[in-house]
Structure 1
């Protein structure tokens, strides 16, 4: 007995109605043959076949073959090792049967289960994230949940219009998502507006930087900190420049020191004819005598060199030319007087 009935809706029209609920998981299609007969003599008939396909709805929850799984793991295991592969079944079709696996969050000894175990959300492979020690941890009890997908990818807040994702994206989900958002007021008659949003999902690109990878750095040259640093550096440079200029000026204004006498020469000051005469004692050579002779003769002076008593050198004296003539004549007259006194 088919769960359908043919009801007369008007004088010349009939409608095919469903007499009970249909379950696609029990029967997914029907072939219905309709016969029509007139009231003539002889009566004439005709028939028509209608093929009915039941569309799937997400009316079945996923189930695991067993409600409790016991997994044995050797201690000192390698981190990331595969523990088991858990598979749930969902009799629905297409996106309604795509399952996502989760570890129900739970803490054991202040440690989250997601820090100890990991499950692949698409195929149910369970992994250990770290090494276990039997003397410290002997067993763990936690729950794994399998969820199907007619849960939509997005949800819309009816008050502020925020669009949020309700679950994690899977490779089974289309790359392009199309959302139609309708905003409707409460007026009479109600007014509405519609907008279409297209969402494209892209793969996350992870760039591995090496030591030779150069990453451009974007920064603002005129932040407050940089401005203070520039002012401080400029002040220091200005003070340094002023200090250098002052030192140069002081060096230029210092009197030049008198040229030191050569090695082996002593300077003497003597008074002759009420004038200061620079005398020197020459020990090593006649270079000083010659230079002094040339310099003083240009000034109209006479240079006299007298040997020291001990023979250690000479006393070099310069006197004005007039005084030299007076002294010379006086010495000659005295010499003549001494010479004449010696005569008998």
Structure 2
């Protein structure tokens, strides 16, 4: 036909062959290569890119790769030169067993645009498996009465190779008694027989040892051996014989368990017990044969055991031994060849390999979503499979090769309308009745990152007590992203900056996932009263989007500083005991000295009071005695509760001791209160002696003498100042209340919102408003000035903030006002005095 076509069309022979070759390659879209098994890593297989007609310069840009590999990672392609090479050791017997053909199927994918090529690599057999006998030793019991030319069946060797590498030849070690006979059956298998060539004489030779060697046809040749141990028996000289040496049977693979395969009927020429026969399956038979068949020892019926599976084993060779009951027993052998016939009992198998899932909602039509492979373990029409998709999905199946499909996008996607599709692939074979199977894949439509994280609050205000525990929780910031998956996964971080001489990250930290803000170290209100910083929230999209939120952390005062007595200036005592000269002529109310002390805390924690303590010395005891003797007269000196001024309580007389030691206790109003002490030594002298005192004490005496005169002038000024301050207080309260009531009711009617109190300790219970002068850190540069006042009405900690009632508006305003003007009154008193 080819020659007639060439003559009819007038086409040259070479051109005709080229056209036929091009048509075949276009139709099959497949390349075939060949490589021997056990090839080393890197062994050249073929120039894949060149044979596919792909330029080498386009391999990397077009993502040239092996997408699906039926053979695992046995073969690999070099994307630089397009050469297919061996990547791992290939064992043909492990891949294909005893199959005459063995191939590895590769699917080569080139994207931009997508092309799929199918490559078949034949794995050639090499002679790497020697012949193997079922056992290394074979025991035979042969009667000395056996006739010449008697045949004794032997188990042949098996070779895992195929072709000429599995063609076996046998030879027997040199023997004058036995020879080896090899018979080739109709199905190509070989039957081995040990042939008796010389009469046996048990009295002359009781045992014979032979060596049977099997050699395959490979190059180089490989061999296997089995030792044959023959024991010569006496008397029973007839063995059971079968009507056939080989019985051939065909069974459907769905044959029920217990089905009769064949019934054997061997005969024995002996009489009596020597002719009674028992049947058994040879112990050398493979284990799978013994698990699939059983034989009745008495009747010789062979029945199935378990379930036959054509896909597991297509045929069985059962060696049967018939023993008579003679002494010694004689045996005969036959072979049962069982061929399993395939039925359509395997449903198709579907394998889905995802390539680009999830798919972006802006993906173009024709985008390959997944690769689908279908297979059926049955043979013939039972293994022919067709595929279909569920309707109403924007996808279609594109056949790329036999039993290989691509799931491609057929129409546009919109994630806002449909976020994903459940695609069901149904495969049906051509058997009768047909079997089908289905597999589903969820095609998720991916979102694009078009939404930045948004915080729940525009700004966070937090109050924390100083001396907080390191690592304490300040506040949790929260931001949400309207996108999906990674685009909505928010992480938090600090916006780093400097706070004075230190970095912000040395003060606070934020957990990247939960948004919990922690203080890394104890905060000191005397060092930092307001910490203002920003926290950034960014999503995990590409490109990432983010936003910032401002946090204000107010540090509340704790009573952690004791009062400190200032060093004595001119005319005043110091913390150390330095004598002060006092004239005995001083009258009641005469100021003789003043103790000055300061406290680094604020509010009530810095409000100091002074009181006299009994001095633990002899003079104090003497003073007590004198006072008792004089009828309980008062002590001659006292100290101002809030001024620290030491003055006389009465006129001094000669009964008062010349040296007085006063111990002044300075105490703040914190909870608990902290104290300091100052010791003042007073020396009582007459008026003339006071004038002659040391020049270093002259200023003090002069100030003490003129203090009483100046006190009257100061009192008038003090009264005027107090009235002015009180008027200012009333006016401020009225204006502030009016503004709060007329302001928009964002936080409630005429009342400030209550801030959260965190990290509170058990030392104090002061709350914080926003009306006190403080040191503020809100950015780069010097601290800012603001006002803050303290009130003793807030709970001890965050847990109790929701349990105890908040102060009323009148209480809140009154306490704020008290704390605003109390320091002013103290300053006026101190200044006037």
TM-score normalised to the size of structure 1? 0.38
Choose between structure 1 and 2: higher strand proportion: 2
The higher-RCO structure (CA 8 Å, 6+ apart) is 1
- Rg bigger for which structure? 1
TM-score normalised to the size of structure 2? 0.16
